[in-house]
A and B are shown apart, each in its own frame.
Chain A
Amino acid sequence: NAGVTQTPKFQVLKTGQSMTLQCAQDMNHNSMYWYRQDPGMGLRLIYYSASEGTTDKGEVPNGYNVSRLNKREFSLRLESAAPSQTSVYFCASSGLWSPEGDEQFFGPGTRLTVL
């Protein structure tokens, strides 16, 4: 099993350009997440999908949109990239959505630079 995969691994954009980050998991997990990690900081939740067909905002959703394409795939879109969105983006998944939470499995990350 590949676990959680992300594409691309690296990307450089100019301010105002758009792009979509792709994420897929092959663990039959219900829940998927997008985080960003800035230098010297922990991860901050952008959006999440508790189950197929649902999406919700996290801590820092402004400037992003998401699509839960099917149970396996969860994409993150930047409509008009800004330098403040320069970061490393991680996708994660977990088996179930419960009030107690669950361990999450992370992809390798996408390193995005916006000039």
Chain B
Amino acid sequence: SQQGEEDPQALSIQEGENATMNCSYKTSINNLQWYRQNSGRGLVHLILIRSNEREKHSGRLRVTLDTSKKSSSLLITASRAADTASYFCATVETSGSRLTFGEGTQLTVNP
């Protein structure tokens, strides 16, 4: 069963706008990771946030984690057409070391 659930399933924005994707999960976690997948390609790791962290930045990416609500958000600022991809959250539960992926958000950035 999927641990993470992304919202929305699909998001379409204009270049330059910000994109926010949300992820909810069900159990206690060690960390939460975000990955990007371009069409027909493998996944690429974007950022990892640990359970004792609340916010993390990497370039134009900002990730927040609220363990009390069991949710995370990924913000991409000043989006570009090249950001068009599927974005997945994945969690590592406290009971194990394996990644469990959500179903992803399909982001389309229109030029």
Q: Which residues in A have some Cβ–Cβ distance to B below 8 Å?
A: 4, 33, 35, 40-45, 48, 50, 58-59, 90, 92, 97-101, 103-109
Contacts and interface: CB of A to CB of B under 8 A. Distances in A.
A42 B103 contact: yes
Interface stretch (B11-19, B41-49, B55-63, B69-77): B41-49
B88 interface: yes
Given A42-B2, A43-B101, A45-B99, A109 B42 contact: yes
Interface of B: 1-2, 4, 30-31, 33, 40-45, 48, 50, 88, 90, 92, 94, 97-104
Given A4-B42, A90-B43, A99-B30, A58 B98 contact: yes
Q: Which of B1, B41, B43, B90 has most chain A Cβ within 10 Å? A: B43
Contacts of B97: 50, 97-101
B33 A103 contact: yes
